[in-house]
Amino acid sequence: MEVIIMKELLEANDKLAENNRKYFKDRNIYAVNLMGSPGSGKTTLISAINKALSDIQIGVIEGDIESSIDTERLGKEGVKSVQINTCGECHLDAKVIRDGAEMLDMKDAIVFIENVGNLICPAEFDLGENLRLLGASVPEGDDKPFKYVPMFSYAEVVAITKSDLIEAVGYDIENSYKGLRAVSEAKAFEISCKTGKGVNEIADYLKNAFLNM
Ligand SMILES: Nc1nc2c(ncn2[C@@H]2O[C@H](COP(=O)(O)OP(=O)(O)OP(=O)(O)O)[C@@H](O)[C@H]2O)c(=O)[nH]1
Ligand SMILES: [Mg+2]
């Protein structure tokens, strides 16, 4: 019985995600579903990309279980953002993304959807995004692609964040690529928002994808 309910729930979500895709297309929005563990550097990455892309409008739909810390932080930097509190839910779904997109009310923009910090559940929910981006931070360990296969295989682009900490935490980057390549052909960027490494590269990648969609 539980299996049937879950299947129905995901099918209903997929229909709403298709509507979202049309909504984003009609408004010339390139939507990026940014997933990753709690504290993997998602908001910091959005902030850095926003600074790198001064000629492109950026909007953010922020998903958190509680609080508006991330939207307040982005607001101070002049980034238009809306906050969704899931009140305990471990992922965002297509319904709340539509509500968030209407609140954000933007067009001709790259819109980041910062998903709830979680390396498991968000990989089951299509939001109608254009791109699934995973922020996988160095302090989490190089073995994560081997252990969280659904998420690493769901992502179309992987940002290896906090690369300035590679030596400090003994991160074996070859091992992380070995795990990633076993399950995915996702494009990978090595990024540090502290030193700026890789920020312009991922920003340009998103800009090109937006301008050529
Ligand atoms: N050393 C280093 N620290 C970073 C980097 N990026 C982010 N951080 C730090 O990592 C911590 C978490 O960053 P956030 O951007 O808030 O992470 P998040 O994924 O948005 O966190 P949640 O929204 O709570 O899941 C903060 O203390 C950041 O300053 C980086 O490139 N290098
Ligand atoms: Mg955040």
* DSSP class per residue in 179-211: HHHHH---EEEE--TTT-TTHHHHHHHHHHHHH
Mean pLDDT of 85-112: 96
Q: Is the pLDDT of residue 3 over 80?
A: no
Mean pLDDT of 80-97: 95
Cα–ligand 2 centroid distance for 143 (angstroms): 23
Cα–ligand 2 centroid distance for 114 (angstroms): 7
Choose which CATH entry (3.20.20.70, 3.30.365.10, 3.40.50.300, 3.40.50.360) describes domain 2-211: 3.40.50.300
Question: CB under 8 Å to 110, separation ≥6 — which residues?
Answer: 29, 30, 32, 53, 56, 57, 58, 59, 206, 207, 210
Q: Is the pLDDT of residue 110 over 90?
A: yes
Cα–ligand 2 centroid distance for 94 (angstroms): 19
Mean pLDDT of 94-115: 98
Token representation of residue 143: 């073995």
Its pTM surpasses 0.85 = yes
- Are the CB atoms for 116 and 85 separated by under 8 Å? no
60 pLDDT tier (thresholds 50, 70, 90): very high
Which atom number of ligand 1 is nearest to the Cα of residue 73?
16
Pocket test for ligand 1, best of 44, 121, 137 (most atoms within 8 A of CB): 44
- Are the CB atoms for 137 and 162 separated by under 8 Å? yes
What pLDDT does 6 receive? 82
Domains of the chain, by residue range, sit at: 2-211
Which atom number of ligand 1 is nearest to the Cα of residue 38?
25
What pLDDT does 149 receive? 98
Q: Is the pLDDT of residue 137 over 80?
A: yes
Round the CA-based radius of gyration of the chain to a whole number and report it.
Answer: 16
Name the closest-CA residue to atom 6, ligand 1.
41
What pLDDT does 2 receive? 62
Name the closest-CA residue to atom 7, ligand 1.
41
Per-residue model confidence as pLDDT tens digits over 5-53: 788 889 999 999 999 999 999 999 999 999 999 999 999 999 999 999 9
What pLDDT does 1 receive? 60
Q: Is the pLDDT of residue 4 over 80?
A: no
Distance CA 51, CA 71 (A): 16
Mean pLDDT of 86-109: 96
179 φ/ψ angles, rounded to the nearest 5 degrees: -65, -45
Mean pLDDT of 169-195: 98
